[in-house]
Homo-oligomer: A and B are copies of this chain.
Amino acid sequence: MQRSDAVFVESQAITRPRLGIIGGGQLAKMTAAAAAQLGCQVAVLERQEDFPARGLATHAVIGDWDNPRDLLRLAPLADVLTVENEFVDPAALAVLGQNHHPLWPSAATLARVQDKLRQKTLFAEAGLPVPRFADAPERDAVRQFGFPAVLKKRRHSYDGKGNATVRAPEELEAAWSKLDGDRHPLYVEAFCPFERELAIIVTRGQDGAVVCYPVVETINRDHICHVVKAPAEVSAATAARVTELAVRAVTALEGVGSFGLEFFCLADGSVLLNEIAPRVHNTGHYTIEACVCSQFENHVRAVLGWPLGAAALRAPAAVMINLLGHGDGPGAPRGLAQALRVPGAHIHIYGKTRSARGRKMGHVTALGATLEEALATARAAADCIRFGGIP
């Protein structure tokens, strides 16, 4: 009797793990690839039939991630659910908890991050250095806050969308209109004269164990991540400070999974936490080739309750360059064969159906003995590739 019970328990325990991802873009695609390597099945919820993670999903559920009924179509296909973006409606996500479907990061963590005013408040209360900020329910609150300032949407902003710089009072009305402040809750932040932007990926397990990737420098163009240099050329003290703040931030959120954190580095060497994404992040794509265990594999490990892998760099330097759409056109690039001629360039094409100006269509990572060498390799390949627009 005891023996057959033991066998029963054993056979229950060794089924293939099933990961469900809410969202099916390139972040889901790279997460699914890591999950597949570890023998997981992957189910993905996405709005339309053709999406980047489609080819790597064992099951695709076509639906709306803000619709509780669609979330409940995905959930039974997975042992654990995770999100590809931070914009899923917390009210919709609540249905998962009510039906005992595990979700990591938790709905509580996501709610703390989604509202950027709430995020800033939580970080400030945790003693983390953030730019001065205030709620801006109406125009007067901005005037009282002072200028220059950055007016921001509290929700659904990314890649500079949802932000407007207000240098002086006479620019307020235009900014308010641009962000449609009468309909969307806004908040205001002090304009931060940063010297450069730093970022870091932190993965936190369900047991609270934390793995920190190297601190990197991000160079944005038109508010979109353009180049990531790993490691950032900063002092050991600055790198340690960023790492310490990042761990405190993810811990304050009770986060589980990989998180991307962006920092402002000021002229005096001090750093301010800018924002956090409760998910794998563009600034961590380099980890696929450059680190022992990528941000994607560690995210899978974290949400499935497995031990985390090592985040150490496998080369002295790595550079990632985003491949952004030049304009409308097909989702497949011109110039791929030429780019593949560049030795040491690791090329990722996301497989989106269409290109649009500024849309993230792929990326290139290169390793090197120095950042200059890695940058030259990555740029040589990236310069060959073009998505959409007039050739």
Contacts and interface: CB of A to CB of B under 8 A. Distances in A.
Contact of A341 (B14, B42, B307, B340): B307
A344 B36 contact: no
Contacts of A55: 32, 36, 41-42, 56-58
B332 A39 contact: yes
> Chain A: interface residue count, which band?
35 or more
A348 B37 contact: yes
B56 A330 contact: no
A380 to B, nearest CB: 13
Contact of A10 (B301, B334, B344): B334
Given A309-B343, A314-B315, A330 B15 contact: yes
A330 B11 contact: yes
A14 B329 CA distance: 9
A342 to B, nearest CB: 9
A131 interface: no
Given A55-B41, A55-B58, A349-B37, A332 B14 contact: yes
A362 B39 contact: yes
Contact of A337 (B58, B306, B315, B337): B306
Contacts of A305: 337
B337 A307 contact: yes
Interface string A294-315: 0000000100011101100011
A9 to B, nearest CB: 11
Contact of A344 (B16, B310, B341): B310
Given A347-B38, A362-B39, A10 B54 contact: no
A252 interface: no
A360 interface: no
A62 interface: no
A301 B340 contact: yes
A307 B37 CA distance: 26
Interface string A313-351: 011000000000000011111101100110110011111
A17 interface: yes
A33 interface: yes
Contacts of A341: 307
Contacts of A33: 33, 36-37, 56
A193 interface: no
A192 interface: no
Contact of A306 (B340, B348, B350): B340
Nearest to A390: B7
A332 B15 contact: yes
7 contacts: A10-B391, A33-B33, A33-B37, A38-B347, A54-B58, A55-B57, A55-B58
Interface of A: 10-11, 13-17, 29, 32-33, 36-42, 54-58, 292, 301, 305-307, 309-310, 314-315, 329-334, 336-337, 340-341, 343-344, 347-351, 362, 367, 391
Q: What 6 A-B pairs have minimum CB-CB distances, sorted nearest first?
A: A39-B349, A55-B58, A307-B341, A39-B351, A16-B332, A310-B343
